[in-house]
Structure 1
């Protein structure tokens, strides 16, 4: 069997790490569990990433970039800008088909104590905001909405904060917020934000 090149092996390890975090949580994650998932040795994983912390940080970046790439595809589609914006927000929602919110909540918690992980999440957040800002500015230029209070940067921050809070409620307290209710609240919130 041919050996995989380093880039392909790293991608495979990152994907398996995300799957392991989703299945068992970050708190109990062990490099040996990721290795077992792939039928590899733990030392090979450490060879590629040096530390468990570096592996975790890169795994979250890997997962986040996949979701952001999909959001960029949705944002650059055809049709009215407001519809594309709503499609991006729908992708972000926990009822969308993006990565499980369990890993993001777990990661945010760990980021409180790990500066590298915190920086990764801050970078991903900036990219999500840039997608929303670009869409809002395009919608304003097309006359599809009015300029939001405080500008598009402030509006993108409010939208993501609202979505993140609802996602946490759905994951932690699902009896309080069901998927239909969440979609209705988000639609109302976007209508308020976009005028």
Structure 2
């Protein structure tokens, strides 16, 4: 990705988080990214193109800060660095980094929520969002299946959907100031324990 393209998408995520999807105007985005409106249209053709690429960018950025937090945790914990993570740890590492009290994470989560809300009125964006959500749930289901190999696939999929839906709901409360970040993480850890227990795994101590 070129620097200018990255600057435009970073600006799009910021404007969406701050003003909502309906508040995303190309002129405002150009000012935020420090580029011309013509350059934005050159890269993304139209407003729907901006939204589609912004959604993908937000997903990629979430993957990056998830990997960053997990790498930092492994470095700080010599035992974690010396031994590969187990299925339960991998599951938590897929979900918990959504709750970090960092500007980039807050911005990303807020923009994702704004795009999700707007998809109610935008069928094309809804399809893009559904695909991204399905890929995320499938990743979580893969970790659950590894952790609970005897569980029926349908039950594993349902558990993954419940966990990702809970994370999104907790994220709204955290971003709104109704939940401290540590409490949101604790509630999600408890939910992971409930779901994996229901699927038949042996509870682990964290």
Q: Give the TM-score normalised by the residue count of structure 2.
A: 0.76
Distance, in Å, in 2 between the alignment partners of 1:193 and 1:95 is 26
Partner residue in 2 for 1:50: 45
Distance, in Å, in 2 between the alignment partners of 1:125 and 1:28 is 24
Q: Is the 8 A contact 2:106 2:175 kept in 1?
A: no
Partner residue in 1 for 2:159: 155
Partner residue in 1 for 2:92: 86
Query: Quick one: which of 19, 32, 45 aligns to 1:24?
Result: 19
Distance, in Å, in 2 between the alignment partners of 1:125 and 1:33 is 28
Partner residue in 1 for 2:117: 109
Change (3 A) 1:135 1:70: farther
Distance, in Å, in 2 between the alignment partners of 1:15 and 1:150 is 37
Change (3 A) 1:192 1:92: same
Distance, in Å, in 2 between the alignment partners of 1:27 and 1:169 is 22
| Root-mean-square deviation over aligned CA pairs | 2.8
- Cα offset for 1:59? 0.7
Number of residue pairs the alignment of both structures matches: 183
Distance, in Å, in 1 between the alignment partners of 2:175 and 2:106 is 13
Unmatched segments (≥5 aa) in structure 1:
1-5
Q: Residue 151 of structure 2 aligns to a residue in which SS?
A: coil
Q: Give the TM-score normalised by the residue count of structure 1.
A: 0.79
